[in-house]
Amino acid sequence: MSPFLASLLPHLRINATERYRQVYSRIGLTILLSWALSLIGRADLIPLWLAASLSVQGLEFFAVRPFAKGRFPERHLQARIVLMLAACVAMAVVHAGVVLIFWQSGQPPLMALALMVLVGGALNNVASGVDSRPLFYLGAIPYALSLAAMPILTWRSAREEVTILAVAVGFFMLAVHTIWGRMHNDRRAVVAAREEADRRRIQTEEALSDRTAMAAIVSHELRTPLSAILAGAHLIRAGTNPVQTQATAELIVDAGHLMTGLLTDMLDQAKIEARAMSLEDRDFDVLGAIRDAARFWGANARSKGLVLREPPGEQPAAWVRGDPFRLRQILNNLLSNAVKFTEDGTITLRLRARPAEDGQVRVVIEVEDNGPGIAEDVMNRLFTPYEQASQETARTYGGTGLGLAVSRQLARLMGGELDARPALERGAIFRLALALPVGREEEVQHHAPATDGAAPDIGALKVLAVDDHEVNRRTLALVLEPLGVDLTTAVDGLEALRRLEAQAFDVVLMDVNMPGLDGREATRRLRAGKGLNHDTPVIGFSAGVADDEVQACHAAGMTDWLAKPLDIRALYAALDRARPSNAPEKADS
């Protein structure tokens, strides 16, 4: 099909619908013009006129009917389009030609009829061709030629009126074209608005569908760790033997880490969508980050009988400047998937780092697993939030599909890309490519290994814990009990201020979001006063981890901040930092 005819196809239905509606009015016009021919003594032309008029109307009826009914014929489509265009032009030619006979009669009533037929035909053509410029011009040309011929035919009988008639014809043609132009633009605006409304409706429906699917996936994924936590808690409450208690506690801890990872991925995805994700900028060793991630996942790999192969020991360090935390997050997601999907064999970590002339280091990290691999048809949706490779994958391995989506977005925020491809024989290769500024090599600090939640020896502390939720207060009491602290609780900011006015405390644990007086405002009022606890360290804790929220806590006067859900090791470390021996001496009140 030619490009011209293909461009007309979307507009033919509107044009055909208008012409299909005009069939009966044109039959009435045919009868009227036949009677008019008899009035001017040209009854001999009536059979010819009827034959021509009814033939083109039958042709047009046959040609436009499929398009008017919305049934675009698949067979011989190009020929059907040409036939419809020819029928439209033939209809205009027949009517525009017959009116010239009435115009030549010189009888004012018949000349007026001729003008009315031409004006009506031109306006009908505006309505039927409003959606397409070519269709409008195809139907308008015969009427325009007939109108232009009228002053010529009048030249001999009324030369003095020819100029006025010619000017009137010109103005009428211009007016018809102007009317069509305005209607055409209005029609395009309406169509564009309708398309935009349809697009937004579809987007809304897809978003609702995505949210429903997301809620179902998250609900399913949360039920697994929640079931483990509740079952473990019931076993402990029932008084199991010490060996079983240890295993149950480990189950609860693992389930808590699973929930925390899920919530972290959801929060990161929300921050990325809101363009609120921020990155650190400091020097670090990429090779060291890779070895740290490999050590972390090595135990999980060994427990499944897998081999986790790191970059060779003689490979030199690669110091760059960027965000090591987000790089480790990407590596953790990739290694987590590799361990999850690999049943036997080897997981290989590779690093290629080479300096570039622009003062940057080209870093390529690859994680190759020995799992079932990735089919080509699912590769496009592999990095889509809340998508899995297949329903079978989701049922077998679980997960929300957020890890890879967040990892790719983080890679792009760092100026790189994360992609995947099938391995040569079996499994998949995930490739992280980054271009990072050259970093300054720093002296490696060797830190003592952290205890796994063991209570530090921080001495007796007077602690005020402020939280509006009873479960959170009971949790704080449970985790602080091994420290031997003197714990007092408050249910909101106002009660906390009353207790702080009446008794001196060593540390305040302050929930940020509470009804009534929240943690930030309570801290501001505490710092503004000159009471017993004016300089007492305040450790805020909240589920909101956005940078602006954390900065607002520090601006309110909080000395430290922890994220919910509370990590017991982080809480113990914060209390250790805040104890009087480590804190600056209080000013005299």
SS (H, E, C) 104-171: HCCCHHHHHHHHHHHHHHHHHHHHHCCCCHHHHHHHHHHHHHHHHHHHHHHCCCCHHHHHHHHHHHHH
Residue 216 in any domain: the answer is no
Q: In this structure, what CATH number is given to the domain that contains residue 419?
A: 3.30.565.10
Alpha-carbon gap, residue 523 to 556, rounded angstroms: 6
Alpha-carbon gap, residue 345 to 307, rounded angstroms: 7
Alpha-carbon gap, residue 169 to 167, rounded angstroms: 5
Q: Cα separations (Å) of 545 from 134, 157, 512?
A: 60, 92, 11
With 0-12 / 13-18 / 19 or more C-beta atoms within 10 angstroms meaning exposed / middle / buried, residue 46 is middle
Please list the pLDDT of the chain residue by residue as tens digits (589 residues): 667 666 666 666 666 777 767 777 778 888 888 888 887 777 888 888 888 888 887 877 777 777 766 665 566 677 777 877 887 788 888 888 888 887 877 777 877 888 888 888 888 778 777 777 887 888 888 888 888 887 777 766 656 666 677 777 788 888 888 888 888 888 888 888 988 998 898 888 877 776 676 666 666 667 767 777 777 777 777 776 766 777 777 777 777 776 777 777 777 777 777 676 778 888 999 999 899 888 888 878 888 889 999 998 888 989 999 988 889 888 988 988 888 888 888 999 999 999 887 889 999 999 999 888 777 766 666 777 655 544 444 443 444 567 788 888 889 989 999 998 888 878 889 999 999 999 888 755 444 444 445 556 666 789 999 999 888 888 888 888 888 889 999 999 999 999 999 999 999 999 998 888 999 999 999 999 888 899 999 999 887 767 778 889 999 999 999 888 777 888 888 888 888 765 444 434 3
Name the domain boundary from 94, 125, 157. Answer: 157
pLDDT score, position 9:
67
User: What is the separation, in whole angstroms, between the first and last Cα of the chain?
Assistant: 91
Is the same domain home to 502 and 391? no
Residue 585 in any domain: the answer is no
Name the domain boundary from 129, 157, 185. Answer: 157
H or E stretch at 578? helix 568-578
Alpha-carbon gap, residue 128 to 13, rounded angstroms: 10
H or E stretch at 51? helix 46-68
Is the same domain home to 303 and 422? yes
pTM above 0.75, yes or no: no
With 0-12 / 13-18 / 19 or more C-beta atoms within 10 angstroms meaning exposed / middle / buried, residue 1 is exposed
pLDDT score, position 224:
65
Is the same domain home to 326 and 471? no
pLDDT score, position 161:
66
Residue 515 in any domain: the answer is yes
Neighbours of 435 (CB within 10 A): 15
Q: Which of 582, 583, 578 is nearest to 480 (CA)?
A: 578
Residue 115 in any domain: the answer is yes
Is the same domain home to 57 and 20? yes
Alpha-carbon gap, residue 347 to 328, rounded angstroms: 17
Is the same domain home to 12 and 152? yes
Alpha-carbon gap, residue 110 to 102, rounded angstroms: 6
Is the same domain home to 288 and 342? yes
Residue 456 in any domain: the answer is no
pLDDT score, position 491:
92
Q: Which of 463, 443, 472, 421 is nearest to 572 (CA)?
A: 463
Token pair listed for 495: 């009660």
Residue 136 in any domain: the answer is yes
Angle between helices 3-21 and 77-104 (to 10 degrees): 50
Is the same domain home to 544 and 416? no
Phi and psi angles of residue 142, each rounded to the nearest 5 degrees, phi first: -60, -40
**What is the total count of domains within the chain?**
3
Q: In this structure, what CATH number is given to the domain that contains residue 555?
A: 3.40.50.2300
**167-195 b/e (C-beta count within 10 Å ≥ 16 → b):** eebeebbeebbeebeebbeebeeeeeeee
Is the same domain home to 366 and 409? yes
Token pair listed for 219: 């609900």
Residue 228 in any domain: the answer is no
Name the domain boundary from 133, 157, 181. Answer: 157
Alpha-carbon gap, residue 115 to 147, rounded angstroms: 8
Neighbours of 368 (CB within 10 A): 21
Neighbours of 524 (CB within 10 A): 15
Phi and psi angles of residue 560, each rounded to the nearest 5 degrees, phi first: -150, 170
Residue 242 in any domain: the answer is no
Q: Which of 474, 573, 466 is nearest to 233 (CA)?
A: 474
Is the same domain home to 356 and 399? yes
Is the same domain home to 402 and 534? no
- Taking the CA atoms of 551, 552, 554 and 558 in sequence, report the sign of the dihedral they define: negative
Alpha-carbon gap, residue 383 to 315, rounded angstroms: 31
Determine the structural domain holding residue 343 and report its residue range. Answer: 282-437
Is the same domain home to 422 and 545? no
Is the same domain home to 40 and 152? yes
Residue whose token pair is 């011009």: 137
